[in-house]
Amino acid sequence: MHKKIFSLLFIITLSATQTYAYIDPGTGGYLLSSLWSTIVGFFALILGFLLRFYRYKVKVFFSYMYKERKVLLFSGLAIFLAGTSYAVSLIITPNQDAGVNYQATKDILQTGITKYDKEKAFDGYTLFEKGLMDMNGNIVRTWNFSYLPILDNKGYYYAQEGYEMPRWGKFTFDGEPVWIKENMPIHHEILPLDNGSIFVLTKDVHEYNGRNVEFGVIAELDKDGNEISQWSIWDHLKDFQKFHAPLELDKEEGNILPENTKKNLSIWGGEYDYYHLNSFSLVPENSMEKIHRAFTPGNWILSFRHGSMVFILDKNTKEILWSGVYSEIEGQIQGQHAPQMLQNGSILMFDNGRYKEQSRVIEVDPVTLKVTWEYSPKNFFTLSQGYVQELPNGNRLITESEKGRIFEITPNKEIVWDYQTPETTIVDSEEVAFQIYRAYRYSTEQIQEFENKKWE
């Protein structure tokens, strides 16, 4: 009777495991230094339980198998160990050989605006690399600098000259330069604030395990383009490494790395990228801010593609206050982009699903790490890039980057506006859709205000 009770309690304990968000440093993370430690501990627990309560039956079973079915016993153990090793290899080092998911133009049935529900779509203008576009797909304004385009609340336009190019700047809405940074290559993010300051992402390079490795840097500039501060991940690397298993670049010099880990020499001088910082945003006013200081407005939200990690840092001390790493988040995030906190306290993000080859847009409860809303229809996938914007009417504007597609959905996941770029490019002798890094929608009232403004 006691064995049955203990067995039942043991099964309930194993099945009731719940993952909660890591809050403060020092209380322990979720990922051990090696997944093998978790597996060994799990099976040691089961073995200890069996030997404690079912020692005789286990002994009889293995004695019989060893004497009468020796080949079957060792074959089973070999298959079990091989299967476990294979499963672990998939989890720790998922397939990284998949290339960019280009959309061949021969597979595109229609371009331009393919759907527009005027009653349900949020009326405005959409900004992306090709310029400012109205709801009917007409480009109404362009600028000379076109990568990472964004407008601030006063109508000033910010953009980089091109992908990872050394020049980027601030312009009037009419395109006149206010200032241009001539030798400050940036990547992924330009974030102007209401007070006039601007955050951008750049990189520095350090020798790490005998390799020239890039580490993300967050720089803040004032409205005149003067640098206020720089904060480098390199200086805080050990703080972040507490939250995850070793990455490929943690292997000592001399170890062979996957061929695609190394890239061509970048403009920063690196050949490897440790975390691949791909997003930066600030915590807004939200319903969770009184629950924990991680959700205080102004705190930093960082996204790392490598390792699939999202962090919230204290805006003043830069202490790590919250994390959601890879399999900790329900459904397992893979190479995510654009995590942002909503006013309801949820974290909205574009989860690329790099290794599942299935993307999704999700809302995550920051306490339980459960997914509370998800959009993931069949054939929705972009290996890299991707973006989602929460619109004022509650709709979401989604950029399916590698397919050159921007579309708007309601909270009930109904597509109410859909745009497929007619622009193309040639890759490996094949015509494919022009990739859109991200798109951002501005209200008609905002754009009219900027157009009517007298720019000096």
pLDDT exceeds cutoff 70 at 338: yes
Is the same domain home to 34 and 148? Answer: no
The answer to whether residues 281 and 299 touch, using CB atoms and an 8 Å cutoff, is no
pLDDT of amino acid 80 = 80
Average pLDDT score over residue span 308-332: 96
The answer to whether residues 84 and 39 touch, using CB atoms and an 8 Å cutoff, is yes
Is the same domain home to 14 and 129? Answer: no
Choose one of 45, 71, 92: the last residue of a domain. Answer: 92
Is the same domain home to 393 and 259? Answer: yes
pLDDT of amino acid 30 = 30
pLDDT of amino acid 70 = 79
pLDDT of amino acid 94 = 45
- Rounded Cα–Cα distance for residues 395 and 373 (Å): 13
- Rounded Cα–Cα distance for residues 179 and 426 (Å): 34
**Residue 38: pLDDT band with limits 50, 70, 90:** low
- Please, what is the average pLDDT of the chain? 86
pLDDT exceeds cutoff 90 at 398: yes
CATH code at position 338 = 2.120.10.30
Is the same domain home to 82 and 117? Answer: no
CA dihedral sign of residues 312, 369, 238, 212:
negative
The answer to whether residues 274 and 261 touch, using CB atoms and an 8 Å cutoff, is no
**Residue 258: pLDDT band with limits 50, 70, 90:** low
Report the Cα–Cα distance between both ends of the chain, in Å, rounded.
86
pLDDT of amino acid 72 = 82
For residues 397 and 255, the model is more confident at 397
- Rounded Cα–Cα distance for residues 136 and 115 (Å): 10
259 phi, psi to nearest 5 deg: -55, -35
Is the same domain home to 73 and 109? Answer: no
Average pLDDT score over residue span 8-22: 49
Tell me the per-residue pLDDT of 60-96, one tens digit each, with 9 for 90 and over: 777 877 777 778 878 887 888 777 666 655 544 444 4
| 203 is a domain residue | yes
For residues 42 and 402, the model is more confident at 402
| 100 is a domain residue | no
pLDDT exceeds cutoff 50 at 35: no
Is the same domain home to 21 and 167? Answer: no
pLDDT of amino acid 292 = 94
pLDDT of amino acid 15 = 52
pLDDT exceeds cutoff 70 at 312: yes
| 115 is a domain residue | yes
Is the same domain home to 83 and 223? Answer: no
User: E strands within 210-367?
Assistant: 211-221, 227-232, 272-273, 277-282, 300-304, 309-313, 320-325, 337-341, 347-351, 360-364
| 150 is a domain residue | yes
pLDDT of amino acid 21 = 46
Residue-number span of the structural domain to which 354 is assigned: 105-452
Is the same domain home to 228 and 323? Answer: yes
pLDDT exceeds cutoff 50 at 294: yes
Is the same domain home to 149 and 32? Answer: no
**Residue 4: pLDDT band with limits 50, 70, 90:** low
Is the same domain home to 277 and 386? Answer: yes
pLDDT exceeds cutoff 70 at 440: yes
Cα dihedral 190→392→314→291 (10° resolution): -170
pLDDT of amino acid 290 = 92
R_g (Cα) of the chain, nearest Å: 25
- Rounded Cα–Cα distance for residues 342 and 344 (Å): 5
- Give the global pTM: 0.80
Residue 367: alpha-carbon gap to chain centroid: 18
Tell me the per-residue pLDDT of 157-206, one tens digit each, with 9 for 90 and over: 999 999 989 999 999 999 999 999 999 999 999 999 999 999 999 999 99
| 98 is a domain residue | no
**Residue 6: pLDDT band with limits 50, 70, 90:** low
Residue whose structure tokens are 């005789």:
56
pLDDT exceeds cutoff 60 at 139: yes
pLDDT exceeds cutoff 60 at 393: yes
Average pLDDT score over residue span 43-53: 69
- Rounded Cα–Cα distance for residues 285 and 344 (Å): 9
For residues 12 and 215, the model is more confident at 215
| 97 is a domain residue | no
- Rounded Cα–Cα distance for residues 281 and 153 (Å): 16
**Among 10-19, 48-57, 127-136, 287-296, which is the least confidently predicted range?**
10-19
Tell me the per-residue pLDDT of 227-250, one tens digit each, with 9 for 90 and over: 999 999 999 999 999 999 888 888
**Residue 97: pLDDT band with limits 50, 70, 90:** very low
Report the number of distinct structural domains present in the chain: 2
Is the same domain home to 51 and 109? Answer: no
pLDDT of amino acid 93 = 45
pLDDT of amino acid 32 = 34
Tell me the per-residue pLDDT of 213-227, one tens digit each, with 9 for 90 and over: 999 999 999 999 999
